[in-house]
Amino acid sequence: MPDKPSLTLRRHLKAPPAKVWSAFTEPALLMRWWGPKDTVTSAAELDARVGGRFLVISHTPDGEEHQVGGVYREVAYPEKLVFSWAWRSTPERESLVTVKLSPDGTGTLLTLTHEQFFDEAARDRHQGGWGEALDRMERLFGE
């Protein structure tokens, strides 16, 4: 069976790992950067513990609602989060996200790996979405 498509993105953030961790695990912070540009996140339910679930609801400028959720598989504060990922519209297309946070000078090196995509088109859409979301996170931390 051929490997499923994946992507890896890296960013240096001007914040310590604990603060970046909070941006992934605290709803109020997550809602400030989550999603592609111009997307508004209207709700975030995060139970960041092994076996805990998350659900994030976002809206595009044209009014479309998008819901994504999953289950936390690994939670190692403040260095690693692993969680499943499935859109409400395509729950059968579950993939896996790993977020690693490493101290890097006065900030954090964030490495986000999203793997087990259904196909290359899905990977490409997520690469754009995650890229824009991480741009927003950089601005949140004053890049």
Residue 1 within a domain: no
pLDDT of residue 142: 86
pLDDT over threshold 60, residue 1:
no
So what's the pLDDT on residue 45?
98
Q: CB–CB of 91/80 below 8 Å?
A: no
Residue 25 near residue 8 (C-beta atoms within 8 A): no
Give me the domain span that covers residue 95: 7-140
Structurally, the chain folds into a number of domains equal to 1
Please indicate, yes or no, if residue 25 is contained in any of the structural domains: yes
Q: Is the residue at 123 inside a domain?
A: yes
Give domain status of residue 2, yes or no: no
Instruction: Check residue 2 and give its pLDDT.
Output: 61
Q: What is the pLDDT of residues 24-60, one digit of tens each?
A: 999 999 999 999 999 999 999 999 999 999 999 999 9
Check the CA dihedral 109-57-87-80 and report its sign.
positive
Confirm whether 29 is domain-assigned: yes
Whether the pLDDT of residue 136 is over 90: the answer is yes
Asked if residue 12 lies in contact with residue 109, where contact means CB atoms within 8 angstroms, the answer is: yes
User: Would 19 be classed as within a structural domain?
Assistant: yes
Residues 48 and 45: their CA atoms lie apart, in Å, by 9
**pLDDT category of residue 100 using cuts at 50, 70 and 90:** very high
> Do the beta carbons of residue 10 and residue 109 sit within 8 Å?
yes
pLDDT digits (tens, 9 = 90+) for 117-130: 999 999 999 999 99
Phi–psi pair at 135, nearest 5 degrees: -60, -45
State residue 115's pLDDT score.
Answer: 97
Is the pLDDT reported for residue 143 higher than 70?
no
In the beta sheet, which residues pair with residue 111? Answer: 10, 100
Kindly state whether residue 106 falls inside one of the protein's structural domains.
yes
